[in-house]
Structure 1
């Protein structure tokens, strides 16, 4: 053994001096590190090693990324359930719109058939009103026919108050034919509007289904990723995720 080692092993005084110097140097390092370092000397030792600092930073980033992945997966699961319910509502709305269009088409066809019968019945010329009383009766008949058509939905409510070009001097048979012609036009317009509404609803229903399916696929991927890293954040509570929400259409 060398001379210094022999001296430290055989003489206690030099050993005490070296221990004192080492302790003083350690306290000096802790004082330079600040209050936190004096309170927790382990932090000074950790921060003094760059490799350890990088390892801690990587672990912190992994935990942060894992927390984000878990929250995002949980949020997507909720959004997928909501999108599925919305898609079901749109499907029901589309079915109702299709049924409404079918009903409107049948009402139009029925009106057309009644007009064919009336045209055959009024094929022959009808006599004109001979007296003022007869003219007044024909006018009252026209108002009753229009009111009945409005009550049935064959004509809009404005048919009673607006000037529809009605001729109260016509024979009641001819008046009924005129009312039926207006009914056919109204029923055809209602059917056309119903078809346009059905197309719009079906388009929105397809968008809702596409949104639901897209969310399902994205949620499946997110859940798989979250499952792989959930052990890194076992006590994580659901929280907000900084990601824009998808817009989902709601039936009017």
Structure 2
């Protein structure tokens, strides 16, 4: 160990003196780095310390407080509208779920009638060639039965127009038992398609309701954070600003969906 190191370890006084001189030398070094300092050293020192004060982090300003209150009011309105929209989407899903259940039961009923018609058609007796009166009676039976199926929703409205025109597979020459089998088969197929459509609609409504609920929860969380921030800066608001901002937060009804 050399003499200087031993002196610094055993006698701290020189170390303190050197450290003080070094701290006092830093501003001088910074000032001498600029040629303008040599002409006006006092002004340079004042500018240096002013710059150091400006670099200190400043607290929130009244403008920031006003903006925080305004943002809290806006996000509170948005949160209320999102809650209302989420309620509408939930109601839409509940309606879709109820429609799916109704279409499922209607399909089961139509399928049961189809099974009965198949059993009846298997045991029907053979018939001779219909006369003109019998043919007219079968035609009226077809039109009447198809119209009843359309009225209770087992067939689409276009089915009646096809039956009246004798197209789309409707044959008035068939025996009434066979006509019922054709009608019930078409009704069961129609009810199955209706159920598949309502099941898809229920899934879509469930997904949309979930997305709307998540968006509403996110906005509620943001509104709470914004309200807390506005409360922290409330004391910085200029006089009269907070009262005006409260009047501007009147809720606006959510748009119709």
Q: TM-score, normalised by structure 1?
A: 0.70
Q: Is the 8 A contact 1:90 1:250 kept in 2?
A: no
CA distance in 2, matches of 1:110, 1:185: 12
What pairs with 1:165-184 in structure 2 (closer than 5 Å)? 165-184=169-188
CA distance in 1, matches of 2:119, 2:189: 19
Cα distance change, pair 188–121 in 1 and its aligned pair in 2 (3 A): same
| Aligned residue pairs, count | 190
Deviation at 1:124, TM superposition (A): 3.0
CA distance in 1, matches of 2:80, 2:130: 74
Instruction: Say yes or no: does 1:151 pair with 2:151.
Output: yes
Instruction: Say yes or no: does 1:213 pair with 2:217.
Output: yes
Match of 1:160 in 2: 160
Match of 2:62 in 1: 63
What pairs with 1:30-41 in structure 2 (closer than 5 Å)? none
CA distance in 2, matches of 1:251, 1:94: 16
Instruction: Say yes or no: does 1:235 pair with 2:234.
Output: no
Structure 2 residue ranges without an equivalent (≥5): 1-49, 247-253
Match of 1:78 in 2: 77
CA distance in 2, matches of 1:169, 1:128: 12
Cα distance change, pair 122–66 in 1 and its aligned pair in 2 (3 A): same
Q: Please identify, of 203-212 and 159-168, the stretch whose mean Cα deviation from structure 2 is larger.
A: 159-168
Deviation at 1:173, TM superposition (A): 0.8
- 1:122 is paired with a residue whose SS is helix
CA distance in 1, matches of 2:255, 2:198: 19
What pairs with 1:1-252 in structure 2 (closer than 5 Å)? 62-125=61-124, 126-162=126-162, 163-233=167-237, 234-236=239-241, 237-238=244-245, 252=257
Deviation at 1:128, TM superposition (A): 4.2
- 2:61 is paired with a residue whose SS is helix
Deviation at 1:88, TM superposition (A): 1.2
Give per-residue Cα distances to partners, 1:115-157, cap 9 Å, x unaligned. Answer: 1111111103541443121112111111111111111111010
- 1:160 is paired with a residue whose SS is helix
Q: Is the 8 A contact 1:142 1:172 kept in 2?
A: yes
Q: Is the 8 A contact 1:147 1:160 kept in 2?
A: yes
Cα distance change, pair 119–210 in 1 and its aligned pair in 2 (3 A): same
Match of 1:35 in 2: none
CA RMSD of aligned residues (A): 2.4
CA distance in 2, matches of 1:144, 1:124: 24
Deviation at 1:69, TM superposition (A): 0.7
Q: TM-score, normalised by structure 2?
A: 0.68
CA distance in 2, matches of 1:191, 1:250: 31
Q: Is the 8 A contact 1:112 1:184 kept in 2?
A: yes
Deviation at 1:238, TM superposition (A): 2.4
